[in-house]
Amino acid sequence: MSTEPTTELKQDLKAQIIKHLNLQDRTVESIADDTPLFGEGLGLDSIDVLELIVLMDRQYGVRISDPQEGRTVFQNVTTMAEHILAKR
């Protein structure tokens, strides 16, 4: 099975992130696939990570319980999408 995320999945992820984290100043188009989720990118914080973990579980059926795994997964939209494909 291919682990190359589709554009559709990444677009859907961006929309979900905007909706669940209430990023009113962002649009799907304004978030690049490799925009960092933290720091100078989307500027998310530790509470947002918890929200992303819930989002991954609810929307995509993927659970993240290992903090080290989270560091790898929550770098940008591409890494999130790759993880979803790998774990589905």
CA distance 7 to 81: 10
Q: For helices 7-20 and 77-87, what crossing angle results, to 10°?
A: 110
Considering beta carbons, is residue 15 or 54 the nearer one to another protein? 54
82 in contact with another protein (CB under 8 A): no
Q: Which of residues 54-73 bind another protein (CB under 8 A)?
A: 54, 58
Among 2, 7, 24, 68, binds another protein (CB under 8 A): 24
Least distance (Å) between residue 33 CB and another protein: 21
47 in contact with another protein (CB under 8 A): yes
Spell out the alpha helix ranges (H) of 1-88: 7-20, 46-60, 67-73, 77-87
48 in contact with another protein (CB under 8 A): yes
Q: What is the phi/psi pair of residue 67, to 5°?
A: -55, -35
Least distance (Å) between residue 77 CB and another protein: 18
Radius of gyration of the chain (CA): 12
